Amino acid sequence: MPPSSAPPASSAIPMIKNKKGKGKQVVEIKLVPEDQRIFQGLHFYFFPNSDTHPGRRQRIIKAIEYGASWQDKFNDTVTHIIVDRDYDFEQLLKYLKLKELPLVDTSTIEFRVKGYEPPASSATIAQPIPSQASEVSLQLKPVKRKAVVLSSQVTSEASLNLVSSSAASLSNSPAPGVPDPQQVPNKDEDELDTAIRQAKESHPLASDDEDDVEGHKRRKTNNWQDKFQCMHKHTGKSGDQGPNAHTLVVLQELADHYDQIRDQWRCKSYRQAISALRKQTIKISTKEAAMRVYGIGSSIAEKIEEIVRTTHLRKLDFAKLDERQQILNRFMKIYGVGLHAAENFASAGYKTIDDLLQKAELTDNQRIGIDHYDDFNSRVPRAEVEKHAGIVKKALKGLDKNYIVNTMGSYRRGAQDSGDIDLLITKPGASIDEIRTTVMDRLVPLLTKHKFLVAALAQTSQADGTKWHGASCLPDSSTWRRIDLLLVPEEELGAALLYFTGNDIFNRSMRLLASKKGMRLNQRGLYKDVLRDYGREKLSEGTLVEGKDERKIFEALDVPWRPPEHRIC
């Protein structure tokens, strides 16, 4: 099932608003050309973190123009903190309610925040600014330092930087009382300007300085790992209103088209490109500009240019008219009918759902899929998801009050409506056998008797089976809904939460990342030391790294924690 189209979740990046003005005017932020976005991928947190002060406001705008994101809350993704001159290090810590900030790079004194004393041991001040420094001063170590290193493939973490900024307001001249920059080529620039200039002079963001300073290893983020979608926050929103909104809509149609056609790789590429384009803060209108975005290649880049020029895509118009395609499309929306079956039906000359019902040989599941074609292809409002979940929960608690039911899928990601109802069932301390027995032998029969569960589409038969797929129907309704139960022992809860929350792209990204690290991620846990065959059939299952705690799986993979609503890729 294609991922539910993005529920709105609030972006952590606040809006730059016009001072007063009526309506929702937004200041025009003109991003610098892409190759000059020296802050691309960095997340700034200002202190104070509002744009009410004109000087700070200017700095925030400038930071964004150079590619930074402005975080409205201090969180794990923040890479740099920019502190106003009026505040010192202690005030910052107090406000953030932190004992300390894990500084990563304290070697550059230009921008050191007042009141910060570097540890005595690491007296590495002498270095002005390394020529290749693309980041600014006082780097911080990751916040969650406790992360146990569970895998042998230790990688790096995002570095946090702490930057002092001038509150010199509009004049842009440095205020007194700050350590003199060792070199200030231009008196009219404040610290941020300086940082921008110095970063510009240096090489782009790619510089990989693994310098050891007195035996202290220092790392910056893993560039290769950054390319995984799971490393980035996705709310799935901001496409409806962003500068590329229309292009995104058309590309999404193409992605859907390839999805329906079951051209999984093209579909994947389009979704990848869409995700990348959605994050762009400026309108992409030429092939050249599009090509520079990671995830967009020449083919899609050409299409982007065509979409912008002509407002639509000829290829898509054509595809929409293709009759056979429409038929396949129609058939594949039947539960239990994939490309293969759809092609067979179409080749047999069937054109409508009714044709199938009357003439085709159908499996039991396909028949159910047809009988409830409209039901299964309509969205379930969030409130109704809760009703279905409530019924299951109540019935299960009646059998054993220790059971826990979690509503998963797009519901957990905050969606306002879902394609189906996903319920995770567990009981602390119970074995999977006990849970399976209770659910399969007691809960399902009970709810079936009460006419809540109305069809079984796929139910576990294996000894280690853990799922039940079927349909449910509310007492006062005639609409059948797809409902999935996942049975989980407590030890696997974290991995199951991860899997069952999705979305699918996010899961695949996490799993691919795991495999690149010699590990394996599935709905039961994260495993390491997986031996793979040449054709990478796995020879050993690997040893369990983590299964119980969702957060620890992120940590073990060195992926910053993302709440469910940020897993919409």
Partner DNA sequence: AGGCCGTACTG
Partner DNA sequence: CAGTACG
Partner DNA sequence: GCCT
Residues with catalytic function: 303
Q: By three-state DSSP, how is residue 306 classified? A: helix
Structure tokens at 20: 């007063």
Residue keyed to tokens 């979608």 = 229
The verdict on 39 binding DNA (CB under 7 A) reads: no
The verdict on 314 binding DNA (CB under 7 A) reads: no
The verdict on 342 binding DNA (CB under 7 A) reads: yes
Taking CB under 7 A as the criterion, the residue among 10, 173, 298, 477 binding DNA is: 298
What does residue 494 show for φ and ψ, rounded to 5 degrees? -60, -50
The verdict on 16 binding DNA (CB under 7 A) reads: no
Sheet holding 543-546, edge to edge: 520-522, 525-528, 543-546
- Dihedral of the alpha carbons of 14, 158, 237, 10, in degrees to the nearest 10: -40
Taking CB under 7 A as the criterion, the residue among 7, 174, 242, 502 binding DNA is: 502
In the chain, what's the furthest Cα-to-Cα distance? Answer: 87
Taking CB under 7 A as the criterion, the residue among 409, 414, 489, 560 binding DNA is: 409
The verdict on 429 binding DNA (CB under 7 A) reads: no
The verdict on 155 binding DNA (CB under 7 A) reads: no
Residues 226-255 that bind DNA (CB under 7 A): 227
The verdict on 420 binding DNA (CB under 7 A) reads: yes
Q: By three-state DSSP, how is residue 373 classified? A: helix
Taking CB under 7 A as the criterion, the residue among 143, 485, 521, 559 binding DNA is: 521
For the bound state, the minimum distance from the C-beta of residue 474 to DNA, rounded and expressed in Å, comes to 19
Taking CB under 7 A as the criterion, the residue among 375, 484, 490, 546 binding DNA is: 484
Query: In angstroms, rounded to a whole number, what is the distance separating the alpha carbons of residues 533 and 528?
Result: 15
Give the binding range for DNA (CB under 7 A) out of 82-90, 110-118, 279-287, 297-305: 297-305
Taking CB under 7 A as the criterion, the residue among 112, 218, 234, 520 binding DNA is: 520
Residues 192-221 that bind DNA (CB under 7 A): none
Give the binding range for DNA (CB under 7 A) out of 72-80, 267-275, 352-360, 398-406: 267-275
Asked if residues 554 and 562 have their Cβ atoms less than 8 Å apart, the reply is yes
Give the binding range for DNA (CB under 7 A) out of 23-31, 97-105, 123-131, 268-276: 268-276
The verdict on 552 binding DNA (CB under 7 A) reads: no
Residue keyed to tokens 């599935």 = 522
Cα–Cα nearest to 67, from 137, 134, 158, 150? 134
Query: In angstroms, rounded to a whole number, what is the distance separating the alpha carbons of residues 243 and 81?
Result: 28
For the bound state, the minimum distance from the C-beta of residue 104 to DNA, rounded and expressed in Å, comes to 25
For the bound state, the minimum distance from the C-beta of residue 400 to DNA, rounded and expressed in Å, comes to 21
Give me the DSSP letters along 51-88: S-SHHHHHHHHHHHHTT-EE-SS--TT--EEEEETT--
Query: In angstroms, rounded to a whole number, what is the distance separating the alpha carbons of residues 480 and 390?
Result: 16
Give the binding range for DNA (CB under 7 A) out of 6-14, 111-119, 398-406, 533-541: 533-541
Query: In angstroms, rounded to a whole number, what is the distance separating the alpha carbons of residues 350 and 357?
Result: 10
Measured CA angle at 321 (ends 318, 323), to 5 deg: 130
For the bound state, the minimum distance from the C-beta of residue 245 to DNA, rounded and expressed in Å, comes to 20
Alpha carbons within 13 angstroms on the beta-carbon side of residue 475 total 7
Omega before residue 503 within 30° of 0, cis: yes
Q: For DNA, which is the closer residue by CB, 91 or 153?
A: 153
Give the binding range for DNA (CB under 7 A) out of 50-58, 160-168, 202-210, 270-278: 270-278
For the bound state, the minimum distance from the C-beta of residue 33 to DNA, rounded and expressed in Å, comes to 19
Q: For DNA, which is the closer residue by CB, 158 or 498?
A: 498
Q: For DNA, how many residues bind (rule: CB under 7 A)?
A: 69
The CA-atom distances, in angstroms, between 24 and each of 19, 27, 53, 144 are 11, 10, 19, 37
Beta strands 80-84 and 380-381: pairing type?
unpaired
The verdict on 299 binding DNA (CB under 7 A) reads: yes
Q: For DNA, which is the closer residue by CB, 296 or 395?
A: 296
Asked if residues 524 and 543 have their Cβ atoms less than 8 Å apart, the reply is no
The verdict on 320 binding DNA (CB under 7 A) reads: no
The total number of residues written for the chain in this structure = 569
- Chain Cα centroid distance, residue 398: 37
Q: For DNA, which is the closer residue by CB, 397 or 538?
A: 538
For the bound state, the minimum distance from the C-beta of residue 332 to DNA, rounded and expressed in Å, comes to 7
Give the binding range for DNA (CB under 7 A) out of 133-141, 154-162, 199-207, 263-271: 263-271
For the bound state, the minimum distance from the C-beta of residue 435 to DNA, rounded and expressed in Å, comes to 13
Torsion-angle region of residue 429: left (phi > 0), alpha (psi -120 to 50) or beta? Answer: left
The verdict on 272 binding DNA (CB under 7 A) reads: yes
- Chain Cα centroid distance, residue 512: 14
Taking CB under 7 A as the criterion, the residue among 363, 431, 477, 540 binding DNA is: 363
Taking CB under 7 A as the criterion, the residue among 106, 139, 235, 410 binding DNA is: 410
Asked if residues 77 and 64 have their Cβ atoms less than 8 Å apart, the reply is no
Asked if residues 333 and 419 have their Cβ atoms less than 8 Å apart, the reply is no
Bridge partners of 426, per DSSP, are 404, 488
Per-residue binder mask for DNA (CB under 7 A), 368-407, x = binder? -x--------------------------------------
Per-residue binder mask for DNA (CB under 7 A), 439-478, x = binder? ------------------xxxxxx-xxxx-x---------
Give the binding range for DNA (CB under 7 A) out of 196-204, 207-215, 377-385, 504-512: 504-512
Asked if residues 205 and 40 have their Cβ atoms less than 8 Å apart, the reply is yes
Q: What is the binding site for DNA (CB under 7 A)?
A: 1, 227, 265-266, 268-270, 272-273, 294-301, 332, 334-342, 363-365, 369, 408-410, 419-420, 422, 457-462, 464-467, 469, 482, 484, 499-504, 507-508, 511-512, 514-515, 520-523, 535-536, 538
